[in-house]
Amino acid sequence: MSLKGKIAVVTGSTSGIGLGIATALAKQGASIMLNGFGDADAIEKERSGLAATHGVDVAFDPADLSKADEVRRLISATEARFGRVDILVNNAGIQFVAPIEEFPAERWDAVMAINLSAVFHSTAAALPGMKARNFGRIINIASAHGLVASANKVAYVAAKHGVVGITKVTALETALTGITCNAICPGWVLTPLVQKQIDAIAAKDGISEPEARRKLLEEKQPSLDFATPDQIGELAVFLASDAAAQIRGASISIDGGWTAR
């Protein structure tokens, strides 16, 4: 599934799922625009490492995806740097947990801005170029929470349901073109942020790290195992390939059976 010569933007790609996706795309020959926050030296190490390991051009843009003009600038900056955007992966996201009546309005606004509005703005900015070339792959990283709900996650669940909706509308509006739009819906994925939750459970409950992992998983994920950023990256590669040309508007779960019950 070679993506040689393709240009990909992956938001929120300095760590975790986004970095896994960027790595998988680079492995197949795509040039990459990384985006996200973090230590500048660590980001440069990832950028240069991806470029050297896979022999592709890799750039970085620090666009703040909570700001509409920055999201759109990220797309135009990629077009200026690489000439076009072939693959857009909307991955960036944040979380906040609280009951609805206690949920801070500013946290609602922040989650909506990054998890939902940024998907709209990047898609709107990328589509004109994709339509002009009659080719594009838009891959939105939604969540199991784009399909089902959990208590105390009102903003995240609402935003991810919205991402699934944007995905369907984009697919319908591009149905007669060479552009596809699909969503990946992960369940629990073992990332540094999730590892922190595991460590917190272990410390709070006085249990071992493996016991804390199982406790986290058993409430939602029947497989009792995590998906990995690499697995999600490989799924993104497939959706970006010619083999997926007639997968349009789909929400593909990679959740260990979470949404099957």
- Catalytic residue annotation: 156
CA distances from 24 to 71, 81, 95, 225 (A): 23, 21, 25, 21
Rounded Cα gap, residues 224 and 213, in angstroms: 9
Nearest to 153 by CA among 198, 201, 108, 191: 108
Query: Alpha-carbon distance 71 to 60, whole Å?
Result: 14
Q: Cβ distance 45 to 71 under 8 Å?
A: no
Structure tokens that stand for 239 in this block: 């959706």
As a whole number of angstroms, the distance between CA 122 and CA 185 comes to 19
